[in-house]
């Protein structure tokens, strides 16, 4: 018998790997904030106070009169002088009618004396000036500050791909036996 020779030829199998790496593709847009500020504003309207001083009566009391006041006082004096003159003439005429009053010359001489006039000039007024006042005002208009903001949101876009491992047979295992 002859020895039997067995030949075994073995080929190992081989696996292949197809690897796809994971991938993250992030796209980020930052938020956009637009701000507009308006400052506070204060507007003041001021009406100043007024003081009214009427010193006509004070000046009149010192003999320092204005044009109209002086004209009025002269008119009053003229009126009084006319009335007094008429009264004097009437009185003279009555004296001339009366035989006991003396001669006509004596009556006329007595009547020809000028009347005394008293002039008063003062250094300080006897009447106070009239003083009045109107108060001033302050009006304000206030506008508060403002902040107007517009916000555009940011965005995050994510393109994510999972990683992958594909296994395939690159070479099939085999056993070949020959006798």
For residue 179, tell me if it sits in a domain: no
Q: How many distinct structural domains can be found in the chain?
A: 2
Element containing residue 14 per DSSP (H, E)? strand 14-20
Which of 17-26, 44-53, 111-120 is predicted with the least confidence, judged by mean pLDDT?
A: 111-120
| Same domain as 127, residue 62 | yes
In this structure, are 67 and 26 located in the same domain? no
Instruction: Round to the nearest angstrom and report the end-to-end CA distance of the chain.
Output: 14
Nearest to 60 by CA among 68, 51, 69: 69
Q: Is the separation of the CB atoms in 136 and 49 below 8 Å?
A: yes
| Tokens 């009169």 found at | 65
38 and 107 co-located in one domain: no
Contact by Cβ (8 Å): 39, 161: no
| 144: containing domain | 1-48+136-174
- What angle separates helix 67-97 from helix 104-111, to the nearest 10 degrees? 160
Summarize pLDDT for 74-91 with one digit per residue, the tens: 888 889 989 988 888 888
> Two tokens at 108?
């006329």
Q: Are residues 2 and 43 in the same domain?
A: yes
Task: Say yes or no to pLDDT of 7 above 60.
Answer: yes
Q: What is the pLDDT of residue 51?
A: 93
Quote the mean pLDDT of the chain. Answer: 84
Indicate the range of 68-72, 77-81, 158-162 predicted with least confidence.
68-72
What percentage of the chain carries pLDDT values higher than 90?
37
Same domain, 119 and 141: no
Full-prediction pTM beyond 0.85? no
- Whether 93 is in a domain gets the answer yes
Eight-state DSSP code of residue 112: T
Q: Count how many residues are written for the chain.
A: 179
């Amino acid at each position: 018998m002859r020895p039997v020779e067995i030949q075994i030829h073995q080929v190992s199998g081989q696996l292949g790997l197809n690897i796809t790496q994971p991938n993250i593709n992030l796209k980020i847009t930052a938020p956009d904030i637009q701000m507009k500020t308006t400052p506070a504003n204060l507007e003041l309207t001021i009406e100043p106070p007024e003081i009214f001083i009427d010193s006509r009566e004070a000046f009149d009391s010192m003999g320092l009169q204005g044009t109209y006041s002086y004209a009025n006082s002269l008119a009053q004096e003229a009126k009084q002088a006319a009335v007094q003159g008429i009264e004097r003439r009437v009185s003279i005429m009555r004296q001339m009618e009366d035989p006991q009053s003396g001669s006509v010359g004596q009556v006329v001489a007595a009547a020809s004396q000028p009347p005394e006039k008293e002039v008063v000039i003062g250094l300080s007024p006897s009447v106070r000036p009239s003083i009045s006042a109107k108060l001033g005002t302050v009006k304000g208009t206030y506008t508060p500050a403002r902040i107007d903001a517009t916000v555009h949101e940011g965005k995050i876009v994510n393109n994510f791909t999972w990683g992958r491992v594909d296994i395939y047979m690159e070479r099939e295992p085999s056993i070949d036996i020959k006798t």
